[in-house]
Amino acid sequence: MSQNSGQPPRPAAGPGHNSGQRLPRTIFAPEHEQFRDSVRRFVAAEVLPHYADWEEAGVAPREVWLKAGAAGILGTSIPEDYGGSGGDFYFDSVVVEELSRRFIAGPAWELHSYIVAPYILRHGTEAQKRRWLPKMASGEVIASIGMTEPGGGSDLKAVRTTAVRDGGDYVINGSKTFITNGIAGDMVLLVAKTDPKLGAKGISLFLVDTSLPGYRKGRNLKKVGNKASDTAELFFDDVRVPADCLLGGENDGWRCLMTELVQERLLVAVRAMATVEAALDETVEYTRLRKAFGQSVFDFQNTRFKLADAAAEIQVGRIFVDRCIQLHVEGQLDARTAAMAKLWTTEMQQRVLDECLQLHGGYGYMWEFPIARAWADARVHRIYAGSNEIMREIIARGL
Ligand SMILES: Cc1cc2nc3c(=O)[nH]c(=O)nc-3n(C[C@H](O)[C@H](O)[C@H](O)COP(=O)(O)OP(=O)(O)OC[C@H]3O[C@@H](n4cnc5c(N)ncnc54)[C@H](O)[C@@H]3O)c2cc1C
């Protein structure tokens, strides 16, 4: 029970940026900041008012994808020739940061736009780019990526889904699980074995239209967090795809995956950093307003020390992640450094969010309080995009 009379304090406008208390960031140009303002307005008008409904439904409607497409959110770094805005990864980061600052974990726009689209851009044929990218930028096509299987996700080399060449087609059999956008998706970038004898060297990627016969969507899985984004099982029973659905060369999938996982892991770090910054700001505000034993919760030394520790970790992490973003834009971010960014920020995020939730008392455990959602949504960051144990393996290999 609350020690106070009346309602708990609720920061009315959501978490602010509190940037005055942090070192100024130097990586963004004025056009990125202008775009940030438009994303912020979009999130306030088109996402926040409906977010609780999407969480309840376990999926967001197509309509908001189309609106996000029209607002330029889905095609930030897709070239203009293919229907996007032709921006760089700084623009992608701005979108992820603005969603994270409002603790918005779905729809999974970053997976669609900043994970799947780059595979097509870097490894696709001209025909594949023309077929998929304009509709992905507009939101008419929703994309997913199918790597993980019921038998295991960490050991990608062991995937059991197969694609067997048959004349001008491949015939796909197998199943995937935990696939984000699996329910809403119109296309899945699928990881399958084209030569099971070769292990990692026998993996290929396919762009599979989800309306093909033999393709089946399973349940929308009930999750601990990320509730506004759908996550599904997928089944492939003799799904026949034309050979021109192969992305990259046959048996070239592993190389493509290793290249693209760098950006995927950096995106998780970008999200984690923006989330903890917002959580700290929100918790400072909450604890200043909340009273116990005749003083504000913020004024207990325990609160101030916990928040000081968080502020210090966040500042250190911000400098590192901004440097990683910069390196990535310059094409210089290596797999090990990306693994460090993903590992460290997501472990730090869990510590900080847990303390922030604790400082909210019982209200911190209520779903309607942003800190509760942030805490639950963040848990998966240590698991997906390669678990943090796999990140440690990657880092250790280079020591
Ligand atoms: C909400 C959500 C969304 C997801 N979205 C997608 C998606 O869109 N597409 C997709 O393909 N996948 C997706 N995933 C799957 C995710 O990438 C996997 O869950 C993850 O890679 C771990 O695989 P696993 O669950 O099979 O765990 P396992 O591989 O079974 O691992 C179990 C445990 O063993 C540990 N472990 C495994 N190998 C080692 C090792 N060598 N050394 C030490 N420890 C090890 C792991 O770290 C983990 O702690 C999603 C998962 C979730 C929960």
Report pLDDT digits (tens) over 69-106: 999 999 999 999 999 999 999 999 999 999 999 999 99
Among residues 143, 147, 220, 137, the alpha carbon closest in space to that of 188 is found at: 143
282 included as an active-site residue = no
Percentage of the chain modeled with pLDDT above 90 = 95
For residues 90-120, one letter each, b for 16 or more C-beta atoms within 10 angstroms of the residue's C-beta and e for the rest, the string is bbbbbbbbbbbbbbbbbbbbbbbbbbbbbbb
Hey, what amino acid is at 44?
A: A
pLDDT (tens digit per residue) in 319-336: 999 999 999 999 999 999
Sign of the Cα pseudo-torsion (113, 116, 121, 125, in order): negative
Q: Say which of 98, 233, 260, 264 is annotated catalytic.
A: 264
Would you state the structure tokens that stand for residue 99, as one six-digit string?
Answer: 């969603």
Question: Ligand 1, closest atom to CA 385?
Answer: 17
Residue 18's pLDDT band (boundaries 50, 70, 90)? low
Q: Output the CA–CA distances (angstroms, integers) from residue 49 to 9, 54, 96, 172, 269, in the order listed.
A: 20, 10, 19, 41, 27
Reply yes or no on whether the pLDDT at 265 is more than 70. Answer: yes
CB of 204 within 8 A of CB of 248? yes
Among residues 246, 244, 273, 247, the alpha carbon closest in space to that of 259 is found at: 247
Amino acid 377: pLDDT: 98
What mean pLDDT comes out for the span 260-279? 98
Amino acid 4: pLDDT: 45
CB of 386 within 8 A of CB of 348? no
- The residues with which 170 forms a beta bridge, in sequence order, are 165, 241
Ligand 1 binding pocket mutation candidate from 154, 161, 224, 388 (most atoms within 8 A of CB): 154
Q: 189 CA to middle of ligand 1, Å?
A: 18
Torsion angle, CA of 274/279/285/288, rounded to 10 degrees?
A: -140
Does the Cβ of 226 fall within 6 Å of ligand 1? yes
Q: Output the CA–CA distances (angstroms, integers) from residue 317 to 235, 276, 310, 341, 344, in the order listed.
A: 40, 10, 10, 8, 8
- DSSP per residue over 340-362, as a string? HHHHHHHHHHHHHHHHHHHHTGG
Residue 141 burial by CB count (10 A; 0-12/13-18/19+): exposed, middle or buried?
buried
Tokens 């992305």 identify what position? 247
CB of 348 within 8 A of CB of 272? yes
CB of 300 within 8 A of CB of 10? no
Please tell me whether residue 289 adopts helix, strand or coil conformation.
helix
Reply yes or no on whether the pLDDT at 12 is more than 70. Answer: no
Does the Cβ of 89 fall within 6 Å of ligand 1? no
Amino acid 10: pLDDT: 58
Q: 335 CA to middle of ligand 1, Å?
A: 18
Percentage of the chain modeled with pLDDT above 70 = 95
Reply yes or no on whether the pLDDT at 346 is more than 50. Answer: yes
Lowest mean pLDDT, pick from 9-18, 56-65, 98-107, 219-228: 9-18
Q: Give the strand pairing for 143-146 and 187-193.
A: parallel
What mean pLDDT comes out for the span 383-398? 97
Residue 2's pLDDT band (boundaries 50, 70, 90)? very low
User: Mean pLDDT for the chain?
Assistant: 95
The rounded distance, in Å, linking the Cα atoms of 41 and 29 is 19
Residue 9's pLDDT band (boundaries 50, 70, 90)? low
CB of 224 within 8 A of CB of 376? yes
What mean pLDDT comes out for the span 6-27? 65
Amino acid 21: pLDDT: 79
